[in-house]
Structures are given as C-alpha cells and as structure tokens.
Amino acid sequence: MGKVYLTGAGPGDTELLTVKAHRVITEADVIIYDRLANPELLDMAKNGCEFVYVGKEDGRHTLPQDEINEVIYQNALKHDVVVRLKGGDPFVFGRGGEEGAYLQERDVKFEIIPGITSAVSVPAYAGIPVTHRGVAVSFRVVTGHESPNKEVSQIPWENFKTDDTIVFLMGLHNLGKIASKLMEIGKPREYPCAVISRGTTEDQTVVVSTLENIVEEAKGIPTPALIIVGRVVELREQLNWFK
Amino acid sequence: MIKKLLIGALVSAAFFTHSQAKEKYFVVERESSSVAVIENGLPRHHMQNMHNMNHGVIKFYDNDGYLISRDGYIVRFDPRSEKKLNEYKTSKSAIGFVINKNYVAVANYDDKSVDILSRDLKPIEKIKTGSRNVGIKIYKNYLVFSEMDKDAIAIYEDVNRGRGKPHFKLVKEFKNVGVMPFDAMIKGDKYINGFFQSPWFGVVDLDTLKFEKIQLQLDDRKPVLKVPHFGFWSISDSKVFIPAVGDNKVFVFTPDFKFIKAIKTEGLPVFTALSPDKKYLAVTFSGKKFPVIQIIDTKTLRVIKRFEFDGKVLHLRWSNEKPELYISVNDSNKVAVLNTKGWWLKREILTIKKPSGIFIYQKGK
C-alpha cells in the first residue's frame, strides 16, 4: 500500500509551489488533481506518472467528495506515491480533512503538504495586503460558496461588523448577496472592496469598487475569483506591482 | 540541498509556465444533451442544451463549430468561446452533414430531403429526394449523396459555382448501384459508398461521372460480405484497414483493394483510427470486448499493445500535437488518455458524463 500526499498547489502561479510539493510531484506514480490546481504543474511529473482529474466545476458537482475519497484510496492500493494535488491549501476550504480522515480509517499513511493559500497570496498579487499597520489588524477568511445542501447558513454575518478585512473565497456567483449582507450589518455603501479573478496568473484581472457598485462593475469577470472587503483595498493605489 | 531543489523547482516551473496546448477536445456527452470541452487536461466547460446526442457528430470549419443531433437539429457554436450561437431543426431525424465556405448541407432521414443552409444556419433550399439520404459529401461544386430507399447515388451541382447563395440542380442520378446504400467516403476524386445488402461497394469517378462496382475479396477469393461504415475505415498511403463485420479480424488491403492480410484481433472490431504519423492503428471492439482496445503496428501488421478499461470504449481520437490517444470510456463516465510514446495510461478525466464521440478543434488554425 502506498502513501498519499495531500498537497497544496498554491494559488495559480506555478512558482508559488513549495519545494516539498515539487519533490512529491516529481516522485508521484499518480497525481489526483482538481480544477484549481494549475495543470502546468503536471508537466513536472516523471514519465509514466498517471493523472486523474476529479475536480468540480462551478454549479456542476460531477464527482461527489465521497467518490473522490474512494478514488484516492483505490490509487493508494495500486501505487506507492499518490499525490492529491489541490488548488491553494488542502486545509483551507480544500476538504483535505475529510480526505485525510477517510484514509486514516483505512490505515493508509498520509502526509499534509500545505500550500500557499489564495486568501493571502491573491490579494498580495493585486497589491492589497490583508493587514496593514494603522489600517487593519485582523482579517477573516470566509467561504463565498456554502454547500447548497445546508438548510441554514453557517456564516455568522453579524460577527463581521467589526472585522477590518474580510476575504471571501469562491464567492463570485454570490457577490450580490455578499455585498447586500455586509451593507445590512452596517458596513457603509461606499466601503471599499475588490474582486480578483484568476489571481497570480497571467490572466489576473482586478476590479476595485464599493459594496454598492461592485456587482455592476465586476459583471462578466471569469472564475475562479476572490472578493476582498476592507480599507486595505485602497492601498492598491500605492502597491499595485503585478501587471 | 534545499537550494538545489528550489532552483530545480523554479527552473521547471519557469520552463513549463508558457506551454499552452493548442488543441481543444469537444466530447459528446451522450445522455445529457451536452458537450464537454477539455483543454490542457481540464474540462473547461460543458455546453448544454445540445438536444439528442446519440451519435452526435461535431465538425469544424474555419472558426465555426457545427454539431448535428439525432433529432434533426444542427447547432452552430463558437469553439473559442465555447458558446452556442444558433440552431436550426431540419427534420425529425438527420445523421450526416457537410460544410464548405458558402453553405451547410444536411442529409435528412425522415422527411426524405437534403437541407441547404447558410453558414449561419438560415435555410436556403430543401431538396426533396423521396428517400432517406446518407453519405453526403462535397466535391468542388458538386454535392453528392446516396439515396438509401432508391438504391441510388445523386449528384447535384451548385449552379452559382460557389459565388453567392448556392442553388443546386440535379446533374446525375446513378440507379441500381446496390441494395440500401448507407455510408460513403470521398478519396481524391472518387466517391465510394457501401451497402447494407450488397456484397460490393460503389465508386463514382467525380471527374468523369462514371460508376463502377468493386468487390472486396480475400486471398482465398472469398468476398467480404458486409462493408462496414467508412467512418470506421483507416487509410494510410499504402494500406486500407477495414474492420471485418462479424469476425475477429481487421482486413488490410492495398489502395487499389488487393488483399494483403487479415490481422486477428481479440474481439469483433468496430472502429479503427490511424495515428497522425500512420505508424499505429487503434482498434475498438463490440460485445464482450467493448472495454478493450488494441494497437496494431502498421509496418509489421501485428498487434503490439492491448488496454482494458472499466467500461465500454465508444470512441477514440489521436492528438495531432502530442503523443496521446484520447479514449471515451462510456459507462465509467471518463475520458482516458494514453501516452503513445511509452504506452501508459497518462490521464483519466473522471467528470465526463457518458462520453462518446471525441472531436478536436485546432486553436489558431
């Protein structure tokens, strides 16, 4: 039985891969990858490495998580080095915990290789620090896409009232709802926010606006995209370095 | 050590950052009226509302994509944006179509006609043939097709000779060509069609408009009794490969149809496809051997590789730019990709629903 490496692929730029992730990719017998892992990383694999795509598309969950768990397990029975490559970090909205638990229950050895999360790195590539002396002393990371199967939302909107910076991952299709909710809890209409599409890649697009106007101004921007809300967005004027 | 690894990682990353595939794969999802688009090993998108995709076929012309559905719709889409542009229903059932710079022609089954449409799918004319029509092809200003219920081959000509809106007139109709013609191919100036119930195939010389019957014979002078779909044949410069219907063999003929060899295969062959360099022939099978494909070396005419999948293989397609063979494994909802240099399973894309036909759009062409 092989070992499974639950590996973070980082936010998109292939150079933001960790050295350890690079090593296991080059040693892998099989790489099970999803949509947010840059497929160019697969070119680093050795000859004979098998690639299995199990990703999800927005609005099209064609392979449920329990089947993905089983695909990982079955590959661990067949191969020595199994890399489960996930966009960003496996434990930040990556469901790496569920995959690890599934393997642990079946006595399959696994290792977690953290990746650079898009929550911090994508704003950085847009010239937006998530904290900044005198502007923001904390930041909150929230899913922008809760499971449609949940009857009641787990997002504690009321708690966001005093947050300096809020980052929503995978929230583009709920942008209108997110902006409305934040205004409902008392954030000003002119509060700064930005949508960053395909961050850290050559296709990166950034739309800077206010809670009131962001929906209109970000219309048509492609996924994957991250939403960042807070005064730190205004720092982009000075810090925009990636063009 | 760490430094060395890091440099290695950065060099690899920098090297591969700019590798961009030009091919886009459009895969018919047979039971969900949709088409999956695969690029760089990722299913980028699914085009929805494509009607009945049983035997759905896609063709590209310039930067237009066209798809024909089993229930008589022809759909035009943009293969770059992967968006449906418009559609037109020609009949209740259609199976074949052809495109040139001026028009799209659709051979209909049930209303016994051939529809001529503009490239953006506006109706121009309907040719009533009184027969189900198959094997539609374009040769210069001719539109050629076989009339299944009339045992005939019809040749129409665009009297406007490719200038402006086409208008077709019957030039010649060959009668009693064989019983129930059902498929055709065009090779140079020859239109070649096959029949359900006649043990020969018909050949029309499109320059001289002469017709002849050719019988395929094996080395022991036994005729090949049933000619399969031409879409399933493969033709290299020196050989024609024909899957035997009802026998575990692939027949090999010279281009002038002299018998060379019968290659024994594991199952009843259905579909053959030559690699772009013509070195290998991939063969799919029916019945119990549906999940198997075999690879034949076209020089030695021997089976050199065998692969078995966990479901029925419905179609396969060789990449033109990488040593890869894409395979639709229908009932396990995946597209498998073989590396054809080392012959190993390189990739499985597990999110394609009931895949069948695989079609390649060459970006920037």
The answer, yes or no, to whether the previous bond of B243 is cis (omega within 30 of 0) is no
A243 is catalytic: no
Q: Report d(CA B81, CA B45) in Å as an integer.
A: 10
Cα–Cα dist B363/B354, whole Å: 25
- The interface predicted TM-score of the complex, written ipTM, equals 0.74
Q: Which of A42-56, B5-19, B228-242 ranks highest by mean pLDDT?
A: A42-56
Return d(Cα B109, Cα A37) in angstroms, integer. Answer: 46
pTM, whole model, 2 decimals?
Answer: 0.83
Report how far residue A45's alpha carbon sits from residue A42's, in angstroms, rounded to the nearest whole number.
6
pLDDT digits (tens, 9 = 90+) for A108-120: 999 999 999 999 9
Measured between alpha carbons, how far is A34 from A37 in angstroms, rounded to an integer? 6
Q: Shortest Cα distance from B325 to chain A (angstroms)? A: 14
Half-sphere exposure of B3 (CA within 13 A, CB side): 0
pLDDT at B365 over 70: no
pLDDT greater at residue B55 or residue A146? B55
Q: Specify the higher pLDDT residue, A200 or B6.
A: A200
Which residues from chain B sit within 8 angstroms of residue A62, using beta carbons? 333, 350-353
φ/ψ of B123, rounded to 5, equals -65, 135
8 Å CB contact of A22 and B12: yes
Which pLDDT score, from 0 to 100, does residue B11 have?
37
Q: Which of A22, A35, A47 sits opposite B42 (nearest CB)?
A: A35
Alpha-carbon distance of B206 to B187, in angstroms, equals 10
Q: What are phi and psi of A26, to 5 degrees?
A: -70, -25
Which residues in A lie closer than 8 A to residue B336 (C-beta atoms)? none
What is the token pair recorded at B344? 């190993």
Please, which pLDDT band fits residue B5 given cuts at 50, 70 and 90?
A: very low
Catalytic one of A34, A86, A89, A163: A34
Which one, of B157, B64, B69, lies nearest residue B118 by Cα? Answer: B64
**String of DSSP letters for B265-315:** -SSEEEEEEE-TTSSEEEEEEEGGGTTEEEEEETTTTEEEEEEE-SS-EEE
CA separation, residue B228 to residues A50, A205, B185, B232, B352 (Å): 35, 52, 12, 7, 29
Asked whether the predicted pLDDT for residue B10 surpasses 70, the reply is no
Residue B60: pLDDT band (50, 70, 90) is: very high
Distance CA B330, CA B314 (A): 6
Residue B180 carries which side chain, given as an amino acid letter?
M
Q: Is 80 exceeded by the pLDDT of residue B231? A: no
Residue that wins the pLDDT comparison between A19 and A223: A19
Q: Lowest mean pLDDT: which of A130-144, A150-164, B279-293?
A: A150-164
For chain B, give the mean pLDDT.
88
Confidence of residue A152 (pLDDT cuts 50, 70, 90): confident
Flag if A62 and B353 touch (Cβ within 8 Å): yes
The answer on pLDDT for B230 being more than 80 is no
Chain A nearest-CA residue for B348: A52
Does A118-239 match A3-113 at the fold level?
Answer: no
Confidence at residue A149, expressed as pLDDT on a 0 to 100 scale: 66
- Which pLDDT score, from 0 to 100, does residue B17 have? 37
Task: Assess whether pLDDT exceeds 90 at residue B356.
Answer: yes
Residue B15: predicted pLDDT: 36
Annotated active-site residue A58? The verdict is no
CB contact set of A235 (below 8 Å; sequence gap of 6+): A127, A128, A129, A132, A135
- Mean local confidence (pLDDT), A22-47: 92
What count of CB pairs under 8 Å joins A to B? 85
Of B8, B43, B344, the CB nearest to A57: B43
Contact B16 A60 (CB under 8 A): no
Task: State the DSSP string of A79-134.
Answer: -SEEEEEESB-TTSSS-HHHHHHHHHHTT-EEEEE----HHHHHHHHTT--S-BTT
The mean per-residue pLDDT over the stretch A52-72 comes to 81
- Tell me, what's the pLDDT at B199? 77
pLDDT at B194: 83
Residue with tokens 């990636």: A242
Lowest mean pLDDT among A130-144, A229-243, B230-244: B230-244
Find the mean pLDDT for residues A18-37. 94
| Cβ neighbourhood burial of B19 (10 Å; 0-12, 13-18, 19+) | exposed
Q: Residue A36: what pLDDT?
A: 78
Taking only the tens place, the pLDDT of each residue in B213-229 is 988 777 776 766 565 56
Which 8-state DSSP code applies to residue A167? E
Q: What are the residues facing B67 on neighbouring strands?
A: B58, B75
- Given a cut of 90, is residue B130 above it in pLDDT? yes
B86 vs B6: which has the higher pLDDT: B86
Q: Which two tokens stand for residue A51?
A: 């690639």
- Give the span between the Cα atoms of B67 and B146, in whole angstroms: 21
Q: Is the pLDDT of residue B4 over 70?
A: no
Fold annotation for A118-239 = 3.30.950
CB-CB neighbors (< 8 A) of A54 in chain B? 350-351
| Residues paired with residue B58 on neighbouring β-strands, in sequence order | B67
What is the arrangement of strands in the sheet containing B240-243, beginning at the earlier edge strand?
B234-235, B240-243, B249-253, B259-264
Is the pLDDT assigned to residue B301 strictly greater than 80?
A: yes
From chain B, pick out residues whose CB is under 8 angstroms from the CB of A39. Answer: 40-42
List beta partners, residue B347: A51, B337
Active site residue A170: yes
Instruction: Looking at the complex, report in whole angstroms how far the Cα of residue B346 sits from the nearest Cα belonging to chain A.
Output: 4
Question: What is the CB neighbour count within 10 angstroms for residue A168?
Answer: 25
Q: What are phi and psi of B30, to 5 degrees?
A: -60, -35
> What is the pLDDT at residue B217?
73
Q: Cα separation of B266 and B303, whole Å?
A: 9
Checking if the pLDDT of B121 tops 50, the result is: yes
- The structural domains of chain A, with segments of one domain joined by +, span 3-113, 118-239
Q: Residue B54: its pLDDT value, please?
A: 87
Mean pLDDT rounded to a whole number for chain A: 93
Q: Report d(CA B167, CA B161) in Å as an integer.
A: 9
> Is residue A144 over pLDDT 50?
yes
SS3 content of chain B, % helix, strand, coil (to 5): 5, 55, 40
**Residue B19 — very low, low, confident or very high, per pLDDT cuts 50/70/90?**
very low
Active-site choice (A20, A29, A44, A56): A56
As a whole number of Å, the CA-based R_g of chain A is 19
- Cα atoms found within 13 Å of the Cα of residue A102, Cβ hemisphere only: 18
Residue B29 identity: E
Residue of A108 and B109 predicted with greater confidence = A108
Class of residue B207 by CB neighbours under 10 A (exposed 0-12, middle 13-18, buried 19+): exposed
Cα B193 to Cα A221, B177, B185, B234: the distances in Å are 50, 9, 6, 15
Residues near B291 by beta carbon (within 8 Å), at least 6 away in sequence: B308, B309, B310, B311, B312, B313, B329
Q: Which residues contact B120 (CB under 8 A, 6 or more apart)?
A: B76, B85, B86
Stretch (H or E) spanning A216? helix A214-217
Contacts of A82 (CB under 8 A, 6+ apart): A2, A3, A4, A5, A28, A29, A30, A32, A72, A75, A76
Instruction: Examine the pLDDT at A45 and tell me if it is beyond 80.
Output: yes
Crossing angle of the two packed helices B2-17 and A19-27, in degrees rounded to 10: 70
Position B225 scores a pLDDT of 59
Q: Work out the average pLDDT over B176-195.
A: 88
Interface probe with B: pick from A30, A43, A69, A82, most Cβ of B within 10 Å? A43
Confidence of residue A78 (pLDDT cuts 50, 70, 90): very high
Residue B111 has pLDDT above 80, yes or no: yes
CATH assignment of A3-113, among 1.10.357.10, 3.90.950.10, 3.40.1010.10, 3.40.228.10 = 3.40.1010.10
Query: B37 near B45, Cβ under 8 Å?
Result: yes
